[in-house]
Amino acid sequence: MQLSFYLRLDLMNMKVCKFGGTSVATADQIRKVVDIVTSDAERKIVVVSAPGKRFSDDVKVTDLLIRLGEAALSGAETDPHLERVLSRFREITDELGLSTDISSEIESDLRDRLSNDKEDSSLYMDTMKAAGEDNNAKLIAAYFSLIGCDAKYINPKDGGLLVNDRPQRVRALSEGDERLAKLREESGLIVFPGFFGFTKDGTLRTFNRGGSDITGAIVAAAVGADLYENFTDVDSVFAANPTVIENPVPIKTMTYREMRELAYAGFSVFHDEALIPAFRKSIPVCIKNTNNPNAPGTLIVKERDYNEQQVIGIAADSGFTAIYVDKFLMNLEIGFGRRLLQIFEEEEISYEHTPSGIDNLSIIIRTRFLTKEKEERIVGRIHKELEPDAVIVEHDYSMIVLVGEGMQYTTGLAARAATAIAKTGANIEMINQGSSEVSLVFGVKVQDETKILKELYKEFFVKSYVKS
């Protein structure tokens, strides 16, 4: 390995690359990461997750840390849980040939976290969960150094990843961008832990789902990267769920809005929130496979040629509840919709869709937010405060979403989709299309989801590809 490998970085383009949990789950996987990074001198900043699953029945390090933190909060014995976490890191450090000092440093860090103030259980758990990414970044930086790379670990607090205070959901603050931008000027390779940041007063807070994806996008946007590479365990984003559709076509290029719609509707390759920083700074994002880095992957950009494929993908997601409210002359009752939505706001439930007619309005929500008590309270409040003719609650809905920015320029697309669904014998419970016409949503019963997805895929992808 040449020690001068990164000396020319200030003169060339720069890439930020993020590696997910499966990409850094074992010593062998970390060697692949190192080979990928060192094969391209433009890869300057590496954002890493905590070690993920090594096999299907394995447990992620983050989940082990959650168990450890919960044991500490409940006053239970923590040593068995601590040993499970340490053994995962010890296995990696030993196989990479790293000094035992690294293992000792990780153990010391974990014990320090365990001894933190437990008065605020939420913040305590954030500190425990973040230990996976933080210590893995230290470990990976040490391995880069071992093989001769000029590499350093940088903590998000020192790097400038600033997040907001509670009680709002955690998000990055633009005030930290100026400090983050200086990472571009650092010599050598930077290894940066994903998943967490710090408030102005130095309090650690973790991001929600896909936290490392979010970190990677924040850093890429702040430093003005020429490309943000998100390495995972698939060759690309596919046009449909490969566990349902056999060998679905890969998506070569898609827009931010298309990926956002697909991620929201069930595509788990990339967290929808992670696109926001890249979108705002127009940073291209490429989804690539750590285990097959030469595959082109999927490029996510601001605009694409819509003529190539009007529908870019089909997603399906279950776990929805529809609350139908019917009232004669509803359209003439000023403020009805606002008062209805206010009930959900006061119950701290966000809505997903609101299809409506002149005398009826439906609120589609995620079922997981609706306890039996909340459901009864909401229905009772609607009857009392809005005096409707009827309120009906329907569970077990799936939302099937056609996505593509080219759909707005295509005549008859909704008819094609409805005809394809009709062939399955299933009933369409709800249709919703946003004003931007990037997505077309069909609400169906969950038992019909798979057969509808297959028929829609056949209509929009098998036929079009046969023709081409």
Segment 296-332, tens digit of pLDDT: 999 999 888 777 778 999 988 899 999 999 999 999 9
pLDDT in tens, 211-258: 789 999 999 999 999 999 999 988 999 999 888 999 999 999 999 888
The answer to whether 232 is a known ligand-binding residue is yes
pLDDT in tens, 23-71: 999 999 999 999 999 999 999 999 999 999 999 999 999 999 999 999 9
Q: Does 444 map to a domain?
A: yes
* Confidence tier at 5 by pLDDT (50, 70, 90): very low
CB-CB contact of 143 with 95 (8 Å): no
- pLDDT(74) > 90: yes
The answer to whether 22 is a known ligand-binding residue is no
**Same domain, yes or no, for 219 and 107?**
yes
Of 156-165, 175-184, 434-443, the poorest mean pLDDT is in 434-443
- pLDDT(269) > 90: no
Highest-scoring range by mean pLDDT, 131-135, 237-241, 357-361:
131-135
pLDDT score at 356 = 85
Mean pLDDT confidence for 189-195 = 97
Give the end-to-end CA distance of the chain in Å, rounded to a whole number. 46
The answer to whether 233 is a known ligand-binding residue is yes
CA angle (437, 440, 446) in 5-degree steps: 160
pLDDT score at 143 = 97
User: Pick from 226, 109, 222, 210: which is nearest to 161 by CA?
Assistant: 222
- pLDDT(468) > 60: no
pLDDT score at 197 = 96
Mean pLDDT confidence for 455-463 = 89
**Same domain, yes or no, for 334 and 222?**
no
Q: Does 385 map to a domain?
A: yes
The answer to whether 405 is a known ligand-binding residue is no
Look at residues 247, 267, 301 and tell me which one is the last residue of a structural domain. Answer: 301
**Same domain, yes or no, for 211 and 137?**
yes
pLDDT score at 67 = 97
Q: Does 5 map to a domain?
A: no
User: The domain spanning residue 448 has which CATH number?
Assistant: 3.30.2130.10
pLDDT score at 265 = 72
**Same domain, yes or no, for 236 and 317?**
no
> How many separate domains does the chain show?
2
Q: Does 198 map to a domain?
A: yes
pLDDT score at 266 = 67
**Residue 22, C-beta contacts closer than 8 angstroms, at least 6 positions apart:** 29, 52, 53, 232, 233, 290
**Same domain, yes or no, for 292 and 352?**
no
DSSP H/E element including 81: helix 79-96
Helix locations, 224-307, DSSP H: 256-264, 275-281
* Confidence tier at 4 by pLDDT (50, 70, 90): very low
The answer to whether 206 is a known ligand-binding residue is no
Q: Which domain holds residue 371?
A: 313-467
- pLDDT(170) > 70: yes
The answer to whether 20 is a known ligand-binding residue is yes
Q: Mean pLDDT of all residues in the chain?
A: 90
The answer to whether 21 is a known ligand-binding residue is yes
* Confidence tier at 386 by pLDDT (50, 70, 90): very high
Of 103-112, 379-388, 431-440, 441-450, the poorest mean pLDDT is in 431-440
The answer to whether 448 is a known ligand-binding residue is no
